[in-house]
Amino acid sequence: MSAQFGKVGVLYGGRSAEREVSLMSGKGVQQALASAGVDAHLFDTGERSLAELAAEGFDRVFIALHGRFGEDGTIQGALELLGIPYTGSGPMASSLAMDKTMTKRVWLQHGLPTPQFEVVDADTELRLVPDRLSLPLILKPPHEGSTVGITKVVGYSDMKEAYAAAARYDSEVLAEQFITGRELTVAVLGSGKAARALPVIEIAAPGGNYDYEHKYFSDDTQYFCPATLPPEVAKEVSAIAVKAYRALGCEGWGRADFMLDRDNRPWLLELNTSPGMTSHSLVPMAAKAVGISYAELCVAILSEASCKVHSASRNA
């Protein structure tokens, strides 16, 4: 493994609101790669300069960062300039997927199902938004993940406080139709025509509240993998996940999140290009269901590390 991959940096930590989760993901990935014989080293981008990556002779990196400055295309662009191969999607796909508003616009252009939405800001008459999207609805910052800044609005009087919670992270806030039903997620591995979906997972959080605590720390959340779904529904959800992934130009790996309504219709919510890799995370869970261990998953993702822009330039 050392001969195949060289010196590998596991980028973790960072400076986003998801730093705590990234620290857990990175440690898990580094330990898994080391157990497989990879010369892997932790590298906290929140405390160290990327210039040190090249200076210290890293041959490739595994991105275990979540949120801004790690999942949004910025670090991917820097790694392209440094010429260091990295895991996951390139700068454009990462940036698109990190922006939930732009993601939904791209999906709609491809005919993919996603809940109705509108963008609101400080000049929006908030009390009119529920008239257009109905109640309940969701308000969230479009550039954050892990349920950061998200509020379920159940009454007109909740709008102002919910907007303020999301506006702490973004100047523009995404208002989205609330879909009542089952929460599903689908991990996707590979690139282009080779991209494939892993088994569908259903998430059942206490009271339907799959928040930050229930995602990463609570043992009360239940996961069903594969999800108990009619075969045709599971097939449809998996197919939509791969189409959504390809529509954004994603590579390497990712995870599409869905709501399945009471009529068994799937609705795309978002796509994560650098999903969590903690003990509670969903991509390792889906991989395990098809016989892929955590370490094997990490090695498989690492094996696809590349410089996307440089590769495109060389092939032009």
Catalytic residue positions?
Answer: 18, 146, 216, 255, 257, 270, 272, 276
In the three-class reduction of DSSP (H, G, I as helix; E, B as strand; rest coil), residue 250 is classed as coil
Q: Quote the crossing angle between the two packed helices 100-109 and 231-247, to the nearest 10°.
A: 110
Measure CA 127 to chain center: 31
Q: How far is CA 221 from CA 57, 214, 266, 294, in A?
A: 42, 6, 21, 21
**Amino acid identity, position 211:** D
Report whether 260 contacts 199 (CB < 8 A). no
Tokens 């008239």 belong to residue: 131
Helices (H) and strands (E) in the chain, counts: 13, 13
What's the CA gap between 66 and 79, in Å, rounded?
Answer: 16
- Looking at the DSSP bridge assignments, the partners of residue 41 are 9
What's the CA gap between 269 and 37, in Å, rounded?
Answer: 37
Q: If phi over 0 gives left and psi between -120 and 50 gives alpha, with beta otherwise, what is residue 246?
A: alpha
Report whether 65 contacts 16 (CB < 8 A). yes
In the three-class reduction of DSSP (H, G, I as helix; E, B as strand; rest coil), residue 58 is classed as coil
Report whether 199 contacts 205 (CB < 8 A). no
- DSSP type of residue 146: T
H helix runs in 114-202, sequence order: 129-133, 159-167
